[in-house]
Amino acid sequence: MKITWLGHSCFSLEYDGYKIITDPYEGVPGYPDLNLNANAVYCSHQHFDHSAVHRVTVSPAAKSPFTIREIPAYHDDKQGKSRGENMIRVFTAGGVSVAHMGDLGHLLTPAQKSELGAPDVILMPIGGVYTLDARQAKKACDEIGARCVIPMHYHHAPYGLSNLGGLDEFLALWNRNAVHMLPGPDWTVTHQLSGVIVPMFRA
């Protein structure tokens, strides 16, 4: 499976010629507006920076190689009373599973952890304010036990919401040997890498 970071919390997941877009954004400072094509698009919740589905042109129906599991969660640590609900989705194809955590605002309950299992890759928000912050995200990653973690939803000047935390605080919580900085925005999941995978955004 090929994973491409398109900025903020938006990714494309591709397998066998089929492409899924997750959490397309609009109006996020620094990032250019998206203009994408895909076979399907999914949003973790309906905030502007995760639900710009009109920025994705959906191709005619095709048989999907992906199976998708949904795990209801919250955008805050008050059971949704502050920011509403958030949907975690696990996308599986070709023996690889990728969990997009959306704007997760709390540590997972035992029931949610059991339902999630241990995906190969988790796409984890780390910027705080609206989601888990760096330390909370690291704790969540440790509890989930995925082989690979890709951070998302953080500020990296000039990109992203300026009140979010950056990448350095999150990476400082990991063994340096576990951090892999990619030269570009995409990565084909292999069994050779584990730890934190950091794509490079390209406008």
* Cis? peptide before 183, omega within 30° of 0: no
| pLDDT over threshold 80, residue 32 | yes
| pLDDT over threshold 80, residue 92 | yes
Residue with tokens 């950056």, as numbered in its chain: 166
Strand order in the sheet with 179-181: 67-74, 85-93, 96-100, 121-125, 148-152, 195-198, 179-181
Residue 192 has a pLDDT of 79
Taking a C-beta distance cutoff of 8 angstroms, is the pair 176, 166 a contact? no
Q: What percent of the chain has pLDDT over 70?
A: 100
For 38-47, 63-72, 74-83, 108-117, which range has the lowest pLDDT when averaged over its residues? 74-83
Confidence of residue 132 (pLDDT cuts 50, 70, 90): very high
Residue 43 has a pLDDT of 98
Residue 163 has a pLDDT of 96
| pLDDT over threshold 80, residue 179 | yes
pTM higher than 0.85 = yes
Residue 84 has a pLDDT of 85
In 57-109, which ranges are continuous DSSP H helix?
none
Q: How do beta strands 2-5 and 186-188 pair?
A: antiparallel
| Residue 156 per-residue DSSP state | B
115 to 8, 22, 84, 90, 189: CA distances (angstroms): 26, 20, 21, 10, 22
Q: What percent of the chain has pLDDT over 90?
A: 91
Question: Among 35, 104, 26, 18, which residue's Cα sits nearest to residue 8?
Answer: 26
